[in-house]
Structure 1
Amino acid sequence: MQTGEMIETWKRWEGQLINGQFLLGEYLGGSGQSAVFVTEVGGAERNKAAIKLVPADLENAESRLARWRRLAKLSHPHLLRMFGMGRCELGNTEFVYLVMEHADENLSQILPHRALTQAEAQELLQSVVDVLIYLHKQGLVHGHVKPANIMAVKEQLKISCDGVVAAGERRVSAHTTVYDAPEISIGSLSPASDVWSLGVTMVEALSQRAPVGREKLFLPNTVPPHFADIARHCLVRDPQSRWTLQVIAAQLQSSRETRGATTADEFVAGDAQTSKSSRRYVLPVIAVVVLLVGMLAGPRLLRKQPRPQPSQAASESNSSANNIQPSPPPVKSEPERTSSNGIVPGSVLHQVLPAVSQSARNTIEGKVRVRVKLAVDQSGNVTEASFLSPGPSKYFARLAMEASRDWKFTPPQIDSQPVSSEWVLKFAFGPTATEVYPTQQSPSSQ
């Protein structure tokens, strides 16, 4: 389990240069056994990439590097590309590293906020099934199919592949998760193991909850019937009795043909509940119509999108999948007040929510609360940020502070002139979502 202390340990390496070639940029995430950082590749035109560090003493380093080199030769449009690998040393610790494509987002960052629509799930699952069939034909098993490993790179769905192994290998792990097939703890990985993981991921993508149960798994009743039928055939405890990927692909295609053209209403998530602001969080299109939306991500996901009028919604959905938009998570602000002293209060113009990994959220019990005080100039830009209460965790405090600095406001007015202001942002981090309560402290309109 990832903790704030573990993150701080890895973050110490930010800014270090690997073998005089790869600069360790922002720490993206990891565990006690590995860490991923932003880096760059290329010549004169540098491109963003990701670099994974694994301590060389965790297993035979040469065996890991040899496996990565074999996997780098794989070629499929939905596999995350590998650019290079090798050995390095940081401090007194030896590592092996892998440089690969940088993903903009992954599915696990979306599901705490909304489930995928049937159309989105259809396209996503067909792409995942396609890449799994490719791997299985090569005698390989993915072994880690789950939302965190289903990613968006620019406008294409990608599946991580650094953990892919040969079929028949045993999993070397101290524990299993809900995504792991029952036989993994006592046997080896097989194509049927990936089918189980696909079934769990399918259920979670459509319902925001994984199936539960010991001897028999129970599916949330919000899973559409056709997908529920596929999931039940994936989640059979006997691996020999599970559907094959070819059968699943045929069922998905049958579902697509039966449902016909998807209506625009399926693609617009909660339009009636959209906030007063016209700004939406949008991610690139995956495959043809799949939209991966990262509600917790930083400014790179923000796009200005004019809110469509009801009469325009259907035509815009049909003309361009890039206009598919979910409603943003609400910022819980105070209601507008009518000033009695000539002061028009300001408002939130642009919000940025902290990018919290699900593994970090899993450490939360109740709420982690952070309060940040902002000084805002007359243009609505944050000029200074400080803690009123950092809360119990340095990790969540840092995320709140980083997000706060990127907020923008419509400045309050006195005698019709914009003026500077002070705001307080109250962050409440929970196991599944983050809420923010902005309050204007000055000038007071009371």
Structure 2
Amino acid sequence: MNKAHLAAGALLLLTAACGGGSGGSGTDDGPVTLTYALWDDAQQGAYQQCADAFQKANPGITIKINQAAWDQYWQNLTTQMVSGKAPDVITMQTTYYPQFVKNGQLLDIGPMAEADRIDFGQYRPGLADLWVKDGKRYGLPKDWDTIAIVYNTAMAEKAGLDLGDLTWNPADGGTFEKALARLTVDTSGRRGDEPGFDKSKIAVYGIVAELNDGSQGQNGWGDLAVSNGFRYIDKNPFGTRYFYDDPKLAETAAWFKRLMDKGYAAPYDKKSSLGPDVVLGSGKGALGITGSWMIKTYLGSTEQKFAFAPLPTGPQGRKSAFNGLADTIYAGTEHPEAAWKWVKFLGSTACQDIVADSAVAFPAITSSTERAVAAHKAAHRDVSAFTSQADAQGGTFLLPVSDHGDEIDQIVGTAMEEVWLGQKDARTALTAANQRVNALFTAGG
């Protein structure tokens, strides 16, 4: 999960102290309380059910869930790592975990996983490999996500639009841009594709674009850029050369900037500080690009009726970011054996089936994913825009995982902001950013 606003926490890990504590090697005698860090409040209920089931099977271990919102989560974790008081088990995001590994703050669970013969084949392909660095394993897969269009059904119907099979290109935007123009309405009721449309007085924006999206653009520009032929990095995971200077990315960024110039998206300096779900829920936007972790938020809205549609098909096909979280163990935990038992349980069907039944995420285990899809279907939620894309041949790409993720997030996020604000053209800003990013790897880091 984002899982989305990486730029918000870009500087946090730079202050992390190098060299975390080392986990004890003895057995856990007597009652043990483990702290478990989680950022998604929508998932807390499901994981409390997992904790209850685990505690019943392991009466000597108590699980205490510490939940904090995304920005606060990373602020807390950074402070806790520095003080040596981090949670025993940590929900981890791929962008940030290499920095914690570099600082010696995450435990290598490889020997324990091997001893307990964990079946990595049970997880969706590609997820388990993300958490191996230099031959050591730092997490068990937790869930996965893909990206789709979310739209206001009443607005689309009133505009006479079918959003099920849109096309896109960076030159004229294809049928996607035509749809955004049609969905945009000024205060006089004129649409963006009608004579007299006033882009300075907008009542409903065609798209609520999530542009403050760090170095990956998971919820928008990254998906379209890859569909335009862009490639983030030379090898994933743990490549050492990025390609943010690719003209295919610059073309995509320039197209998003033109949406703002045309009035189809809010100007970056005037966009709401609220999340896209809040803006869309208020009726001030017609369409957005979102992740599967938001399914229940949108389909459970009492303000508007929403539905999902596939991302538009670009010059290189329809492409969605594919990402996954993992549960990791703090290297300084006083209870490594108990922590491993909990992580192993989290990575098993015993827990992931509970998560599936609650339908708050698509679990990493394939059979549990099928169970989650069934739960959505039983609740009359159409999630095929996410699952079909995940299953499509060549339909997804892994978000980049490398060293220096926090620094890259800051550098590229700042360059993108320069583009959105009109301070620099996309080619200039991104070429300079790419030079700075690649210098991180050539400077011996």
Larger radius of gyration: 1
Q: Same fold (TM over 0.5)?
A: no
TM-score (norm 2): 0.26
Larger strand proportion, structure 1 or 2? 1
| Higher RCO, Cα 8 Å, sep 6+ | 2
